[in-house]
Amino acid sequence: MGDINEIFETSRKTLQEIEQRLEMPRREFLQFCATLAVTMGLPTGAEAAVAKAIESAKRPSVIWLHFQECTGCSESLLRAEHPTLEKLILDVISLDYHETLMAAAGHQAEAARKSAMQANKGKYVLVVEGAIPTKSNGIYCKIGGQTAIDMVKEVAADAAAVIAIGSCASWGGMPSTISPLSDSSPTGSAGVAEVLGKPVVTIPGCPPNPYNFLATVVHFLTFGKLPEVDKLGRPKFAYSRLIHENCERRAHFDAGRFAMEFGDAGHRQGYCLYKLGCKGPETYANCSTLGFGDAGENNWPVGCGHPCIGCTEKGVGFQKPIHQVARMLNVTPPLQYPRIVEEQGKAASFASAAAVAAVAGAAAGAAIMLTRNLGLSHAAAEAERARDAGDAGKPTAAEDKAQV
Ligand code: FSX
Ligand code: SF4
Ligand code: F3S
């Protein structure tokens, strides 16, 4: 990996140097640090500590292994549009082995890995991208004659920290998909923690949001430890809220306005995608608040009009049918409801029902609301179809039914 480091390696003692090398104005760099601090859920003012860590901390050596995957994790990290994120990541870590990026090949590449492991014994960070096939003693993925199982165990043995990037490395992801005719995936794909038999930090997503990875590494630099994680190893700063809680379409969900099929009037108007199989209600991640690719607002699956498939959630993404409706993990209603079936102009009874649920504060009340919302949308959809087909001014039988 010497070549990559030669390209990006310079002294980076001061902000001016960072400014010059990243071609990023100082103000922008500090704004970027503030974004990372916010991503990590740190209080106001923490951006200074983050900037200091990036500016002055010794770059940890990173050994990045690739197994069963599409390389989307690396691509999303390196192709991000935000000012030189790829340069920044290479400024924050010393990427000593990465099969996709390194110029070396064959024996040279293996030698680079061994020497990085030796030189930074006990101090390097191991990042794993891709699942690990476990069937038939792991013969379905070999690098330099070594199975993925043996390699990950060898490199993890002297690592200071292990990070599984992407859903494949976290728990098998796409390669672990099970066909209805079988009880396991073709190659027995598993995540890193399962193969190592110990917990690791996971940054799931297919691909994961690069900021969640970068923020995890910067947390390590700033505080000298990895961030607090949930039971699946996911940093809590990024994966502690359901997507559904902060979704821009949530008001439509609460109001019972659902897209019923792709391209229908509801879909075109940005209604909730729950009935098309959106897994936001059972998926923990910050996609709805962070977005992807720095390409402006709404740049995330639901924002683009596709239901979330739950790629950050073990047992959901790549395991549940894409259009199967989600399990509701949290049915607590928000404090306020938008008007229901707005175009029909009758919201009073629903608002009073919401008030009852709020006073009761009980899941039972919320569940009633949920059921009513879902039932209502069918009636509303029927009304919409009837209206589209016929007399726009006259309330239809379906509309009457929709007035709860
Ligand atoms: Fe691909 Fe990564 Fe998906 Fe997997 O991301 S984007 S298949 S999570 O390991 O390269
Ligand atoms: Fe958003 Fe999906 Fe929840 Fe609807 S179901 S509000 S589209 S996360
Ligand atoms: Fe994945 Fe759903 Fe986010 S599909 S990228 S968890 S919106």
* Ligand 1 pocket, residue 70 CB under 6 Å: yes
State mean pLDDT over 1-22: 48
pLDDT value at position 390? 57
The protein residue with its alpha carbon nearest to ligand 1, atom 2, reads 73
Contact 399, 344 (CB under 8 A): yes
Q: How far is the CA of 369 from the centre of ligand 2 (A)?
A: 16
* Ligand 1 pocket, residue 357 CB under 6 Å: no
Atom number, ligand 3, closest to the C-alpha of residue 279? 2
Q: Reading across the β-sheet that carries 61-66, which strands appear in turn?
A: 94-98, 61-66, 125-129, 161-165, 201-203
Q: How far is the CA of 86 from the centre of ligand 1 (A)?
A: 18
Contact 34, 54 (CB under 8 A): no
Q: How far is the CA of 208 from the centre of ligand 1 (A)?
A: 8
pLDDT value at position 334? 57
* Residue pLDDT, tens place only, 346-397: 333 333 233 223 323 333 334 334 434 444 444 544 555 565 565 444 444 4
Please tell me the number of the ligand nearest to residue 64's CA.
1
Q: Considering only residues 380 and 29, tell me which one the structure prediction assigns the higher pLDDT.
A: 29
* Residue pLDDT, tens place only, 86-106: 666 667 778 889 888 888 888
Q: Considering only residues 383 and 195, tell me which one the structure prediction assigns the higher pLDDT.
A: 195
- Residue found under tokens 């901390």: 57
CA dihedral 70, 73, 74, 75 (to 10 degrees): 80
State mean pLDDT over 260-264: 95
**pLDDT at 328 > cutoff 50:** yes
**pLDDT at 22 > cutoff 80:** no
pLDDT value at position 289? 87
Q: Considering only residues 220 and 194, tell me which one the structure prediction assigns the higher pLDDT.
A: 194
pLDDT value at position 9? 39
pLDDT value at position 133? 97
Q: Considering only residues 202 and 367, tell me which one the structure prediction assigns the higher pLDDT.
A: 202
Count of alpha carbons within 13 angstroms of residue 285, beta-carbon side: 36
**pLDDT at 210 > cutoff 60:** yes
Q: How far is the CA of 325 from the centre of ligand 3 (A)?
A: 15
State mean pLDDT over 395-401: 42
Atom number, ligand 1, closest to the C-alpha of residue 205? 8
* Residue pLDDT, tens place only, 133-186: 999 999 999 998 999 999 999 999 999 999 999 999 999 999 999 887 888 899
Q: How far is the CA of 393 from the centre of ligand 1 (A)?
A: 51
**What is the radius of gyration, based on Cα positions, of the chain?**
24
Give me the residue spans of the domains in the chain: 2-238, 243-402
The protein residue with its alpha carbon nearest to ligand 2, atom 5, reads 274
State mean pLDDT over 266-276: 96
The protein residue with its alpha carbon nearest to ligand 3, atom 2, reads 308
Going by pLDDT thresholds of 50, 70 and 90, the confidence category of residue 292 is confident
**pLDDT at 326 > cutoff 50:** yes
The protein residue with its alpha carbon nearest to ligand 3, atom 1, reads 311
| pLDDT, averaged across the chain | 78
- CA 365 – CA 207 distance, rounded (Å): 37
pLDDT value at position 32? 76
pLDDT value at position 164? 98
Of the listed ranges 250-259, 293-302, 378-387, the one predicted with least confidence: 378-387
pLDDT value at position 382? 53
Of the listed ranges 6-10, 22-26, 58-62, 173-177, the one predicted with least confidence: 6-10
Cβ neighbours of residue 26 under 8 Å, at least 6 residues apart?
15, 16, 18, 19
pLDDT value at position 168? 98
pLDDT value at position 269? 94
**pLDDT at 16 > cutoff 80:** no
State mean pLDDT over 287-305: 83
Query: Does 2-238 match 243-402 in CATH topology?
Result: no
Q: How many helices (DSSP H) and strands (DSSP E) are in the chain?
A: 18, 9
Q: Which residues line ligand 3 (CB under 6 A)?
A: 205, 243, 283, 285, 287, 300-302, 308-312
Q: Which residues line ligand 2 (CB under 6 A)?
A: 243-244, 247, 249-250, 253, 272-274, 278, 280-281, 302, 308
Which CATH class name applies to 2-238? alpha beta
Q: How far is the CA of 292 from the centre of ligand 3 (A)?
A: 10
Contact 242, 248 (CB under 8 A): no
Contact 290, 78 (CB under 8 A): no
pLDDT value at position 76? 83
Which CATH class name applies to 243-402? few secondary structures
